Amino acid sequence: MKEISVTSSFLVFDTLEELPNDIQHLMNQAVAIRKKAYAPYSQFRVGTALLLDNGEIVLGSNQENAAYPSGLCAERVAIFHAGSVYPEAKILKMAITAASDTNQTQAPIPPCGSCRQSIAEYEIKQDTPIEIYFMGEIGVIYQSASLKNLLPFMFDKKFL
């Protein structure tokens, strides 16, 4: 038996103002779309903004459904929209923000497992890392250089 060690590293920004201007703009877009989320059951709203290599910004917010788990997370709404409308474009950067209607989220909230798998599919397909920035409603912002950094043991088509 042997042990392996896997390390992930993140940049931490203390405020939105500390982010590069293009990421501030992207995160502000994510905050705006987060407020439009349809979250009557969880009361947990998530917004995502994607920057594509063609300059387009694609937005998504979580969309819930009484027939769990029929809803979709914000990240997948945005990714699937980008994939259907701009199938040749690469996703360069992703900004994610989450807020609860019942308490203030202060810790950075990363994508869930299903979203990580969906992001992985596109990162592998485009063979280009996707920078991911995530935050709560307030507080610090984490930046991961890629999805692979967030999910080092990705499942992809090579295993099929």
Tell me the per-residue pLDDT of 62-109, one tens digit each, with 9 for 90 and over: 999 999 888 999 999 999 999 999 999 999 999 999 999 999 999 999
Residue of 119, 111, 112 lying closest to 135 (CA atoms): 111
* 65 labelled binding-site residue: yes
Taking phi first (over 0 means left), then psi (-120 to 50 degrees means alpha), and beta for anything else, what does residue 126 get? alpha
Whole-prediction pTM? 0.95
* 64 labelled binding-site residue: yes
Is 82:53 a contact under the CB 8 Å cutoff? no
What is d(CA 58, CA 83) in angstroms, rounded to the nearest whole number?
10
CATH number, domain with residue 148: 3.40.140.10
For residue 3, tell me if it sits in a domain. Answer: no
φ/ψ of 38, rounded to 5, equals -100, 95
**Mean pLDDT, to the nearest integer, of 17-42?**
97
* 142 labelled binding-site residue: no
pLDDT value at residue 154: 85
Q: Which domain holds residue 141?
A: 11-159
For residue 6, tell me if it sits in a domain. Answer: no
For residue 31, tell me if it sits in a domain. Answer: yes
The DSSP symbol for 89 reads: P
What is d(CA 129, CA 127) in angstroms, rounded to the nearest whole number?
7
* 67 labelled binding-site residue: yes
* 62 labelled binding-site residue: yes
**Is 75 a catalytic site residue?**
yes
**Which helix (H) or strand (E) segment is 18 a member of?**
none
What is d(CA 14, CA 160) in angstroms, rounded to the nearest whole number?
41
**Mean pLDDT, to the nearest integer, of 146-152?**
93
For residue 32, tell me if it sits in a domain. Answer: yes
Spot the catalytic one: 75, 121, 131, 137.
75
For residue 85, tell me if it sits in a domain. Answer: yes
What is d(CA 125, CA 145) in angstroms, rounded to the nearest whole number?
17
What is d(CA 27, CA 49) in angstroms, rounded to the nearest whole number?
7
Q: How many domains are contained in the chain? A: 1
Residue of 157, 81, 79, 89 lying closest to 126 (CA atoms): 89
